[in-house]
Amino acid sequence: MFTQRALVAAGIISVGIFALIVRLIWLQVVRYDYFAEQAQGNRVRIEPLPPGRGLILDRNGVPLALNAPSYQLEIIREQVTDLDTTLAGLAALNLLDRDNIATLKRDILHRRSFEGVPVKLSLNEEELARFAVRQQDFPGVEIRPRLSRKYPLGASGVHALGYVGIISEADQKNLDGNEYAGTTLVGKAGVEKSYELELHGKTGYQQLLVNAQGRRVETLGGKKYQLERKEPTAGNDLFLTIDERLQSAAEEMLHGERAAVVAIDPNNGDILALVSTPGFDPNLFGRGLSRAQYLSLYENPEQPMYDRALKGVYPSGSTIKPFMAMAGLYYNVIAPEDSKFCSGSFHLPGVNRPWLDWEKKGHGSVNMVKAIKTSCDVYFYGLANTLGIDRIHDYLASYNFGLPTGIDIEGEKKATLPSTTWRRQAFKDKAMQTWYPGDTINVGIGQGFLTVTPLQLAHATAAIAMHGKRFQPRLVHAIRDSVTTQKREIAPVALDDAKSNDPSNWQVVINGMEEVVKPGGTAVVAFSGVPYTVAAKTGTAQAFSLAKGQKYNAAQLSKRMQDHALFIAFAPVEQPKIAIAVVVENGGHGGSTAAPIARRLFDFMLLPPEQLAQQEAKRAAKLEKEPSTSAASDE
């Protein structure tokens, strides 16, 4: 019995030894190459090398967005023993805001376990030292050198440029995880977002030798290994159409106001200035905002993050009158020389309520040129009534009113271009679906349901300047390849011409706009002594509706209830180089508030340096002596 058991045991042991020998041969001979590669992977860690983000420069090469070296705190989840404890410990060192811990944890859990996730951007020297002395208490937390985004001009042009921020959970759904491995920031708005693919570049990688604890070492087991490295490719540089001189001049003029300015080159659609005030410092987002800091911006009643140039929707006021005049000429319902008598009020047959002119005593006999010059409401009440709302809609649509202009950044609103069809679709209540003649009268002077954006106004003004030729507005005109350094120009995109059945009609309307800056015109004060030709139109739009019999008294109203000031213009008339739209919320009169802003930008654009210096000196002296000036009229 003992012998039998011994033989059975020996047999089992022999089979086991044979199986072990076969397995060793399989692992170390047959599958040697495969497992050698696997073993290399266990001691080598792949670390992504994020690319440098492309630069953004203005049309003259002035840097608007750069990259600056910085240090950031990153967590590699697979190396962290307890994520909650680690985050709480970093907060105890005042390296994290406790209010942000839940958001940070969610972001970390949604990233790949081996990927470094930034939890603190741009550490200062004190924060670096504070963490360095306690680093051994935080396995899986490392300080990494990175390039952070820097905007050297601060808030200037922020709504055009946009900003970058930490990649969020929502961003990850739209990004290539491999291309953005190791990348901390992504474009969130403006050019930074819309041109993300050009600016980002291509991610590289390097192999790192690590020990059993996952820490980087130079050798392992006394042996130095050959490691691979692929350099990243930096993003391409963008050249904007923005002229920083104009941008800064407009922002200085608008300081403290809720306003927007858009300046366009009528010859190609280049945006020369895109201003929305108040603004904010985009560097805050690149450094990482706490929740409290973000809410202080987001909940600010002045709405500094709101892009008024693209998203602000306002009544056009009298700036719509040149376009109404063109519509009247296009449909042959009025001739330029036709005279209409303005007594100060307009009456619709069968309606007791009069529509009043801004000039109570009236303008007397006016033709089209004089009506534009003096901004005669009665003339345009009658013209709108003759045209009817649907013809007004169809004509104004040819300038892109009520439609996006197609600018090359996101966020543009289309505003409202009313029609009978629009009203039926806009209101569910059948009683509100009927379009009345009185509604058309209001549209004739840019009130009622008609609204516009500053970008639409500037774009349409450029179309008048070019006698109907239109170009898609754009903020980027060239891209410089980071590898070849070759600069590629982007061709302007031509749009369908604005409607006109007689080329001479353009000159009639332009003549009226030229008269606006001459004696008797509504912008004569702002353009006194101007050495170049200007075609313009002032506008004042009510911020609220008046009840029947109620009189408007600005002195008794709070600032936010006062009229909006608007102004459109282009210059020089004979060879236009710049078209401008200015909107100042609750700014009062277009001639006194908005027109001086356009005048200064025209000076910057059109005057030679010596003459500009003289004009700036005069302006400074005038401001010292007389802080505010009055326009020739309420328009």
Q: Find the range with the poorest average confidence among 105-109, 358-362, 378-382.
A: 105-109
Confirm if 633 and 522 have CB atoms less than 8 A apart. yes
> DSSP letter string over 389-430?
HHHHHHHHGGGTTTS----SSS---------HHHHHHH-SSG
Cα R_g (the chain), whole angstroms: 33
Confirm if 203 and 48 have CB atoms less than 8 A apart. yes
- Domain residue limits at 586: 307-625
CA distance 100 to 89: 14
Query: Average pLDDT in the 377-385 region?
Result: 97
Whether the predicted pLDDT of 32 surpasses 80: no
Prediction pTM value: 0.85
Highest mean pLDDT among 217-221, 513-517, 590-594: 513-517
Mean model confidence pLDDT for the chain: 89
- Is residue 327 assigned to a domain? yes
Which two structure tokens, joined as six digits, stand for 157?
């042009």
Query: Average pLDDT in the 258-273 region?
Result: 97
pLDDT (0 to 100) of residue 632: 45
What band does 148 get if pLDDT is binned at 50, 70 and 90?
Answer: confident
Segment holding 366, helix H or strand E: strand 364-366
Q: How many domains does one find in the chain? A: 1
Whether the predicted pLDDT of 589 surpasses 60: yes
Query: Average pLDDT in the 442-467 region?
Result: 97
Per the model's pLDDT, the better-predicted residue between 204 and 290 turns out to be: 204
Q: Find the range with the poorest average confidence among 168-177, 313-322, 611-620.
A: 168-177
- Is residue 160 assigned to a domain? no
- Is residue 519 assigned to a domain? yes
Tally: H helices and E strands in the chain: 23, 23
- What is the domain-level CATH number for residue 464? 3.40.710.10
- Is residue 7 assigned to a domain? no
Query: Average pLDDT in the 322-330 region?
Result: 98
- Is residue 290 assigned to a domain? no
Which two structure tokens, joined as six digits, stand for 557?
């109203």
Residue-level length of the chain: 635
pLDDT digits (tens, 9 = 90+) for 428-437: 999 899 999 9
- Is residue 64 assigned to a domain? no
Query: Average pLDDT in the 269-278 region?
Result: 97
What band does 629 get if pLDDT is binned at 50, 70 and 90?
Answer: very low
Query: Average pLDDT in the 435-454 region?
Result: 96
169: nearest Cα among 177, 157, 178: 177
Torsion of CA 145, 149, 151, 155, to 10 degrees: -120
Confirm if 564 and 585 have CB atoms less than 8 A apart. yes
- Is residue 139 assigned to a domain? no
**Residues annotated as part of the active site:** 318
Highest mean pLDDT among 111-125, 135-149, 428-442: 428-442
pLDDT digits (tens, 9 = 90+) for 280-308: 999 988 877 777 788 888 889 999 999 99
Kindly give the pairing relationship between strand 56-57 and strand 63-76: antiparallel
Q: Find the range with the poorest average confidence among 105-114, 220-229, 353-362.
A: 220-229
CA distance 185 to 116: 13
> DSSP letter string over 201-249?
-B-EEEEEEB-TTS-B-S-BTTB-----EE--BPPPEEEES--HHHHHH
Whether the predicted pLDDT of 344 surpasses 90: yes
pLDDT (0 to 100) of residue 555: 55
Whether the predicted pLDDT of 62 surpasses 90: yes
Which two structure tokens, joined as six digits, stand for 501?
């059945």
Give the list of residues 6+ apart from residue 366 with CB closer than 8 angstroms, or none.
339, 340, 341, 342, 374, 376, 379
- Is residue 130 assigned to a domain? no
Q: What's the farthest any 2 CA atoms get from each other in the chain? A: 135
